[in-house]
A and B are shown apart, each in its own frame.
Chain A
Amino acid sequence: MGNTDDIIVVKNVSKYFGKVQALRNVSLTVKRGNVVVLIGPSGSGKSTLLRCMNHMEIEDEGEIWIDGQRLTRDEKSINQVRADIGMVFQHFNLYPHLTVLQNITLAQRIVRKRSQEEAEAIAMEQLKRVGIAEKAESYPAQLSGGQQQRVAIARALAMKPKILLFDEPTSALDPEMIKEVLDVMLDLARAGITMVVATHEMGFARAAASEVHFMDEGSIVESGTPEMIFDHPRLERTRQFLSQILFR
């Protein structure tokens, strides 16, 4: 691919679930170090687009390139690509049978083949970064939702990923816990980590996003800087969506 600054290139991607078309000819380029926010009503294809980027879903048409490498159906190469892409889920998906520390060291050891000591050192470093080093020996169920999500972010960071994908990371949180997660994400954005975030948090988008894409019915219908999208939306559909979430 031409420009080495383009770390994610999505080209004319379509995806069907049975007869429902989840993505319609979507194209999107993410530059290294940028923070891209996807907004849009539920069912608009944000999650599907995000999940196509690490082949948790496989596109039916089009191409996806990650750091110059085209995603294929080959299991071995996709596992390597996934190790380089951290993913944070709406429902955290921590491993409940493992401690926080073990949650963060597991994939480091079996995918990155790091030693126990090295993996634990990196895990503690990332736990400090998200501000909950003292919970290393706790089990996920003993933590609040906000803490669990921060552990999930630390788990993703410990793999030293090139890209972080966030699939509505605050949607399952109680309101008073949203801020602690957004603060961590804001720090990561300022540290220059490439991020693609599906979210409804306009405050975060304004503060961190390089660009915002509004999705509706499987297409990206409007794109621009946060100011352009939030303050001067061109399309009636965008205006309508924003008014709905702002006065929720």
Chain B
Amino acid sequence: MASGETSIPRTPALSIPRETLRSKLERFPWWFVAMVSMALATMGVIFSQPSYNQAFVFIRAGIHVTITTTLAAFVISLLIGLMAGLGRISRHVFFSNLSTLYVEIVRGIPMLVLIFFIAFVAVPAVTSALNALGKMLVDAGVTWLAWLTRIENNGVPMQMRAIIALSVTYGAFSAEVFRAGIQSIPKGQMEAARSQGMTYWQAMRYVILPQAIRNVLPALGNDFVSMLKDSSLVSVLAVRDITQVARLYAGQTFRYPEAFTTLAVLYLIMTLILSLGVKALERGLSHGQHR
């Protein structure tokens, strides 16, 4: 290394400036090391101290609820978001206005309030509307839809309401991500596809969306991390996710520090793993970038 540098002493302007130890140290992600050591230290405490260990074993039971709720809500939010995003850029007056209305309403209501609203207002309203529709259809002789009358509001589990609420909220966010992603593709792409006789939807499906989705994957990954954190809000519906279970544990045992420290560390570990995944995805995408 050192001999390589001394062999070209006369052309300092052409040689790439060597990275100094100082600049390497400055750029090193110390925060990440600190975060990981904090997580590890807390894990150490959790496994060595019986009271923390007990809290961890209790709270652990909520992990699968947190993960299934987040995953299901994320997949549904992507579908809603893609449709609403396409609606936002649609030249069709009805669809573009409907999508904008949806996005603006959701953006104007706090997520916690929206969760209450969907769980206790929207879902009951929809079930009674379906009941009424079913009744009308049965009266009109469409008996195979009689099951519509049997849907009960109480029959909709709270976890399902939580998933609906999260996906409706995040659908509005990802709608904007998709819209921006589609609009970032140069106009010439759509023109080239249409000039070859493709329909608008064929051009979208085969030319625009493959490029747009690739561009927005990192942003959607970050949304997924945010959603994992925001899934803690569904504990207000008594869905037994890790936040709710931690609250129950704290309420029963009065061991507040144990419950909430464990809870915080659990979230941190999950989001850390996911963020690393998103970073790897970003790196993979930029590596295989064909532009």
Bound together: yes
Which A residues form the contact surface with B (CB < 8 A)? 54, 56, 75, 79-87, 89, 91, 93-97, 106-107, 110-111, 139-142, 155-156, 159
Task: Assess whether A106 is in contact with B206, with CB atoms less than 8 Å apart.
Answer: yes
Task: Assess whether B199 is in contact with A93, with CB atoms less than 8 Å apart.
Answer: no
Task: Assess whether B191 is in contact with A141, with CB atoms less than 8 Å apart.
Answer: no
Task: Assess whether B197 is in contact with A159, with CB atoms less than 8 Å apart.
Answer: yes
Known: A84-B197, A159-B197. 14 other contacts (CB 8 A): A79-B197, A79-B198, A80-B197, A81-B197, A87-B195, A89-B192, A91-B188, A95-B211, A97-B210, A97-B211, A107-B197, A111-B198, A141-B291, A159-B196
Task: Show 9 residue pairs from A and B whose CB-CB distance is below 8 angstroms, ordered by the A residue.
Answer: A54-B195, A79-B198, A82-B196, A89-B192, A93-B186, A93-B189, A111-B196, A111-B198, A111-B202
Rounded to whole angstroms, the CA-CA distance of A94 and B291 in the bound complex is 11
Closest Cβ–Cβ distance, residue B214 to chain A (whole Å): 7
Question: Counting CB contacts under 8 A, is B111 at the interface?
Answer: no
Question: Counting CB contacts under 8 A, is B290 at the interface?
Answer: yes
Rounded to whole angstroms, the CA-CA distance of A80 and B199 in the bound complex is 10
Closest Cβ–Cβ distance, residue A187 to chain B (whole Å): 22
Of all chain A residues, the one with the shortest Cβ separation from B211 is A97
Task: Assess whether A82 is in contact with B291, with CB atoms less than 8 Å apart.
Answer: no
Closest Cβ–Cβ distance, residue A58 to chain B (whole Å): 13
Task: Assess whether A97 is in contact with B196, with CB atoms less than 8 Å apart.
Answer: no
Task: Assess whether A95 is in contact with B207, with CB atoms less than 8 Å apart.
Answer: yes
Rounded to whole angstroms, the CA-CA distance of A97 and B202 in the bound complex is 15
Task: Assess whether B196 is in contact with A107, with CB atoms less than 8 Å apart.
Answer: yes
Partner pick for B214 among A86, A89, A97, A141, CB 8 A cutoff: A97
Closest Cβ–Cβ distance, residue B210 to chain A (whole Å): 5
Closest Cβ–Cβ distance, residue B266 to chain A (whole Å): 39
Task: Assess whether A95 is in contact with B189, with CB atoms less than 8 Å apart.
Answer: yes
Question: Counting CB contacts under 8 A, is B193 at the interface?
Answer: yes
Task: Assess whether A89 is in contact with B188, with CB atoms less than 8 Å apart.
Answer: yes
Rounded to whole angstroms, the CA-CA distance of A94 and B188 in the bound complex is 9
Task: Assess whether B195 is in contact with A82, with CB atoms less than 8 Å apart.
Answer: yes
User: Cβ of B197: which chain A residues have Cβ within 8 Å of it?
Assistant: 79-84, 107, 111, 159
Closest Cβ–Cβ distance, residue B212 to chain A (whole Å): 10
Task: Assess whether A96 is in contact with B290, with CB atoms less than 8 Å apart.
Answer: yes
User: Cβ of B199: which chain A residues have Cβ within 8 Å of it?
Assistant: 75, 79
Known: A91-B188, A95-B189. A56 touches B194 (CB 8 A): yes
Known: A91-B188, A93-B189, A95-B207. A56 touches B195 (CB 8 A): yes
Task: Assess whether A139 is in contact with B198, with CB atoms less than 8 Å apart.
Answer: no
Task: Assess whether A110 is in contact with B290, with CB atoms less than 8 Å apart.
Answer: no
Which 5 pairs across A and B sit closest by C-beta, in order of nearness?
Answer: A83-B197, A107-B196, A93-B192, A93-B188, A87-B195
Rounded to whole angstroms, the CA-CA distance of A100 and B87 in the bound complex is 32
Rounded to whole angstroms, the CA-CA distance of A187 and B192 in the bound complex is 23
Rounded to whole angstroms, the CA-CA distance of A97 and B188 in the bound complex is 14
A-contacting residues, B64-111, CB 8 Å: none
Rounded to whole angstroms, the CA-CA distance of A187 and B291 in the bound complex is 30
Task: Assess whether B196 is in contact with A140, with CB atoms less than 8 Å apart.
Answer: no
Closest Cβ–Cβ distance, residue B204 to chain A (whole Å): 12
Rounded to whole angstroms, the CA-CA distance of A141 and B291 in the bound complex is 5
Closest Cβ–Cβ distance, residue B155 to chain A (whole Å): 44
Rounded to whole angstroms, the CA-CA distance of A138 and B188 in the bound complex is 21
Partner pick for A83 among B196, B206, B214, CB 8 A cutoff: B196
Rounded to whole angstroms, the CA-CA distance of A54 and B194 in the bound complex is 10
Rounded to whole angstroms, the CA-CA distance of A91 and B192 in the bound complex is 10
Closest Cβ–Cβ distance, residue A244 to chain B (whole Å): 28
Closest Cβ–Cβ distance, residue B201 to chain A (whole Å): 11
Which of B191, B211, B290: most chain A CB closer than 10 A? B290
Task: Assess whether B202 is in contact with A110, with CB atoms less than 8 Å apart.
Answer: yes
Of all chain B residues, the one with the shortest Cβ separation from A85 is B195
Rounded to whole angstroms, the CA-CA distance of A130 and B184 in the bound complex is 31
User: Cβ of B207: which chain A residues have Cβ within 8 Å of it?
Assistant: 95, 106
Task: Assess whether A97 is in contact with B290, with CB atoms less than 8 Å apart.
Answer: yes
